[in-house]
Structure 1
Amino acid sequence: MLFPLPFSKLSLSASILSTLLFNAAAQTASSLNCTEFFVPVNISTQTSKLNVTAPSSQAEMTGLITRMTWANSSITNDVNLGTTALNATYKIWSQLCVPDGFGANGTLEFTIHGGTENHTYFSLGKDSPFNYAQAAVQAGHAILTYDNLGAGKSDKPDGIQEVQISTETAVGIALVEQLPSVLKFGKLVGVGHAHGSVIMMQMLAQRGNLFDATVLTSIASSTLGATTGIAAMNLQIASESAPEFHEGLSSAYTVSGGWTSDQTTFYHFPFFDADVLDDLHRGREVMALGMLLTLPENRPALNYTNSVLAVTGDRDYFMCAGNCNVTTNGFDSAPAAVAGLFPAAKDFTTHIPENTGHFLNYHHSAPQTFEFIQNWISGAL
């Protein structure tokens, strides 16, 4: 059951929002009791001054993407003019789903979706086998999903100078810090997907034990397939390629080029539902150029001491160039090598679903993957 509320009518004082969420949790007609709201987040961070302007044509956009995917491309260094301080307030669209009987000692899952996605990556269709949020609620957990800055219903500021990794990281940290005023809970688990996992690792590198346990999906220690994956996406100017969704949006925002591009990059044939791919492609979610131009070097989370689970499909094209079961940095797979970024973690577990691509939530293996994750969370807390 959804409770959509416009930002202008919603105060996020602790008392009002707690009452709102209590009423949502008290609903009994559905296994998914969800509340939608906007969260104003205040951030202060350092961003990169990028010597790049929004492309004036698709030809210029394609040329920029081509430069990003050259062998040994140095574009991220070439266009970086240093750092600058950013102090800003953004409205972030969020959804909280709470199971019946959830108490102050319950577990809350905090999710971050990836690029070319929005919050629906974790909540695709009520009673769908691809709905991770429903699996979490059925396990007795509350779950918060949100649209990243520059995606979905959240604010879309300058897509080059503001929507960057550091900004998305600051937004994630700010949201976590506000959670206690939104819902009383006992344990907090982070769940990231792909680019969302990258953001989550940056959060942990900065803040240590933000989460009592962390699940990183569609991740590897080195993105072997990133350049070919970005090229395969065939990125288009969103306002030109999908004006029915993004008319008037700055040309710094892109969408994937087509059904075939999506399949090549994100799915492993024939182990997915073609109708799901078709529905998602029609939605044409955006991705900002600033995010692509500020992809970080992996930083170890030296002060994170809790448990970590890495879940990546064996045929993840974007992360592993289609083969994740390869020895990497002395580890027996590319996802397992992520353990090197968590030297103080209590334990590190790897799970590699078979016949599964980058969008692992949308493959036929998803129900078994969700079950594995929920069982792992229960054992890790």
Structure 2
Amino acid sequence: MAAVFATAGLLLAHGVYSAAVHTSKHNHGYCKELDIPVFATSKSAIYDIPRVDSNVDAISWAIYSDTWSTPAGGARIIKNTTTSDTFKIHAQLCVPKVSGGKNDILHIATHGVHYDSRYWDPTLDREKQSYVEATLRAGYPILTYDRLGVGKSDKPNAYDVVQAPLELEILRQLTLMARNGTLHDFAGKAIPLNSAFNMAAKPVKKVVHVGHSFGSFLTSAFIAKHSSLSDGAIITGYLLNKYLGKAGMASFNAQFAPTSSTPFNRPSGYVVCQKSGIQTIFFAGDPKTAFTKEMLDYGDAIKQPVPVGEFASAYHIIGLPGPNFKGPIQYMLPEFDFYICGGDCKGLADMKVLRKTYPQASEIEVAIQPNTGHAFTLHNNATAGYQISYDFLARNGL
């Protein structure tokens, strides 16, 4: 709890600063963008990771990571460390305009690698693609945030700081702030003030954690390690199976972020997909019906560099058992997810394994969203999948 009090103190000392409130861009809710100082402490490590300071280095890093004889997991640790610091986490908190029975059930959505929180709220066609807009329309408030190292959040050392355990702790701190009212209190006071937002915002009674890809790694680990802090989970773009990640890092067609074809201001160790890598990983299904050229172009336009330390440390958060989690869990799998399922997710889920992993879960459901790829928010069939998730939550009292 010390970290919670420290974060609350930082909010009191420095305030929460919001960008302009755009009540018009979201038809079904009021939103505020926030820069939240989050104090977090976690175990970390210095890993044996090739440095990435050029485009040539980026390809060499990918090949090294994919090579069968390269040490994996803890075998790559040179020295165990602890990371403790305050990080700026950029977030967007939205509340529904229409009051109802769900406006005290907060969705906390965690994005995956190669994107930031815009993955959940694409502006290309919000009514047909945005998970944020759909969630507001369904009557839920929603918090999205840029994970550490991407978007408008802090971008610290890519090797020794931005690692999976720290990101899991940041998610815990954000959840605690939502549950104890700190987040809503300071969002309400953030400049510019908005009376409509404040009137619509309600105290949080329950939290549903939603993840995509690496964000689902984190969400799965969260409900396993911090079961009492979550009332339900929607896992998208992730299923632990024999094909997970078999496409490898080389499929990213990565470049060093500062010298990439679309340059980013990042330090050593940040890599970014080329457009061909974005299509390979994130877009699938019938190219005539699953997605449009505009969706692919948009998916490339909002891409984000990735700190390589995330990949080296990901083993900490994959496949953790959750014996104490009692809420419902839905796996929403894109039918043709190449990176997670080797291109076909149908029939891969083993319900016996899932029930053994979460023996007290009130319900576990696996849904397949037809004709979609890994980035299902950027496919034509997105909102139909969202509705399946909302129906699942409603059946389980959420």
TM range (shorter): 0.7 to 0.9
CA distance in 1, matches of 2:23, 2:73: 49
* One-letter amino acid of the structure 2 residue matched with residue 348 of structure 1: I
Q: Displacement, 1:68?
A: 1.2
Query: What is the aligned partner in structure 1 of residue 157 from structure 2?
Result: 158
Kindly report the root-mean-square deviation, in angstroms, between the aligned alpha carbons of the 2 structures: 2.7
Aligned twin of 1:181: 182
2:323 corresponds to? 302
Aligned residue in 1 for 2:361: 345
Where do 1:1-381 residues align within 5 Å?
Answer: 12-13=11-12, 30-52=27-49, 54-71=51-68, 73-102=70-99, 106-125=104-123, 127-179=126-178, 180-183=181-184, 184-222=203-241, 224-242=243-261, 244=263, 246-247=264-265, 249-258=266-275, 260-268=276-284, 269-270=286-287, 271-296=290-315, 297-327=318-348, 331=350, 337-381=353-397
Instruction: Give the direction of change, closer, same or farther, for the CA distance of 1:81–1:343 in structure 2 (3 Å limit).
Output: farther
AA aligned to 1:55 is: V
Deviations 1:162-183 (A, max 9, x none): 1111011011001111112223
Deviations 1:141-197 (A, max 9, x none): 100000000010000000110111101101100111111222312221111111101
Q: Is the 8 A contact 1:310 1:350 kept in 2?
A: yes
Residues 26/146 of structure 1: CA separation in 2 closer, same or farther (3 Å cut): closer
Q: CA deviation at 1:60?
A: 2.5
For 2:220 and 2:81, locate their aligned partners in 1 and report how far apart those are by CA, in whole Å: 22
| Normalised TM-score (structure 1) | 0.87
- Please identify, of 353-362 and 189-198, the stretch whose mean Cα deviation from structure 2 is larger: 353-362
Sequence identity percentage: 24
Report the AA paired with residue 316 of structure 1. D
Between the two proteins, the alignment pairs up a number of residues equal to 360
Instruction: Assess if the C-alpha contact under 8 Å between 1:68 and 1:227 holds in 2.
Output: no
TM-score by length of 2: 0.83
Cα separation, 2, equivalents of 1:275 and 1:32: 26
> Is the contact made by 2:106 and 2:204 (CA closer than 8 Å) also made in structure 1?
yes
- Give unmatched runs, 5+ long, in structure 1: 1-10
SS at match of 2:44: strand
Distance, in Å, in 1 between the alignment partners of 2:209 and 2:26 is 28
Give the distance between the partners of 1:39 and 1:307, measured in 2 at CA.
Answer: 29
CA distance in 2, matches of 1:304, 1:321: 29
SS in structure 2 at match of 1:298: coil
Query: 1:337: Cα distance to partner?
Result: 4.9
**3-state DSSP of counterpart to 1:303:** coil
Q: Answer yes or no: is the 8 Å Cα contact 1:223–1:319 preserved in 2.
A: no
- Tell me which moved more, 41-50 or 95-104: 95-104
Determine the C-alpha separation between the residues in 2 that align with 1:130 and 1:343: 34
2:52·2:270 contact (CA, 8 Å) conserved in 1?
Answer: no
